[in-house]
């Protein structure tokens, strides 16, 4: 009974419309109308063929901030995979321009950006090093991200994830 991947995520947010605008304007998600519920918005990631990747449900302005990881259990973040380092560069610019970029790390097999949505919920945007390109310097850990060095090493348009998060090309 294998599980293949995460199909979608649902987030409780103060204002689903405000959060949807963030995902649309900063991350290029698009609204999908397959489901209609009051106070809910469903979104699809830019390159997705899924009917929806993210559901946002309004809980109101009175809702407190998450304490997950500090004072309670809960989800730390969602990680969205991007195709190329060029995509990661574009997202870094968009997240920086929106004032929501909170971190950038080299984790060995991934190169990641971290940002927070309007409710302070954290997300990660990651490029996955193709399995056949992993080397000794790609050991697990957390190091500062150097996109220029990674682009010089891997190329700006090299598709990521092959042999790790998606099947290697035949």
Q: What is the pLDDT of residue 90?
A: 96
Strands of the 30-32 sheet, one edge to the other: 9-13, 54-58, 40-44, 30-32
Q: Which stretch of DSSP H or E encloses residue 129?
A: none
Q: How confident is the model at residue 168 (pLDDT cuts 50, 70, 90)?
A: confident
Higher pLDDT, 3 or 62: 62
- Read off the pLDDT of each residue in 55-67 and give the average, rounded to a whole number: 93
Q: How confident is the model at residue 109 (pLDDT cuts 50, 70, 90)?
A: very high
Residue 41, pLDDT above cutoff 90: yes
Q: What is the pLDDT of residue 5?
A: 79
Higher pLDDT, 102 or 168: 102
Q: What is the pLDDT of residue 127?
A: 97
Higher pLDDT, 153 or 34: 153
Q: Please name each of the domains of the chain with its CATH number.
A: 7-60 (3.10.180.10), 76-165 (3.30.720.110)
- Read off the pLDDT of each residue in 112-129 and give the average, rounded to a whole number: 96
Q: How confident is the model at residue 34 (pLDDT cuts 50, 70, 90)?
A: low
């Amino acid at each position: 009974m294998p599980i293949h991947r995460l199909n979608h995520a649902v987030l409780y947010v103060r204002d689903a419309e405000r959060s949807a605008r963030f995902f649309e304007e900063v991350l290029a998600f698009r609204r999908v109308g397959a489901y209609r519920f009051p106070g809910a918005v469903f979104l699809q990631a830019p390159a997705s063929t899924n009917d929806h990747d993210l559901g946002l449900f309004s809980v109101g302005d009175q809702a407190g901030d998450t304490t997950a990881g500090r004072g309670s259990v809960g989800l730390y973040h969602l990680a969205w995979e991007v195709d190329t380092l060029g995509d990661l560069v574009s997202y870094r610019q968009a997240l920086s321009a929106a004032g929501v970029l909170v971190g950038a790390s080299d984790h060995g097999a991934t190169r990641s950006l971290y940002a927070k949505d309007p409710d302070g919920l954290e997300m990660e945007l990651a490029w996955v090093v193709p399995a056949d390109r992993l080397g000794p310097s790609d050991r697990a850990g957390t190091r500062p991200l150097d996109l220029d060095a990674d682009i010089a090493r891997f190329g700006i348009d090299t598709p990521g994830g092959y042999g790790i998060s998606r099947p290697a090309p035949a």
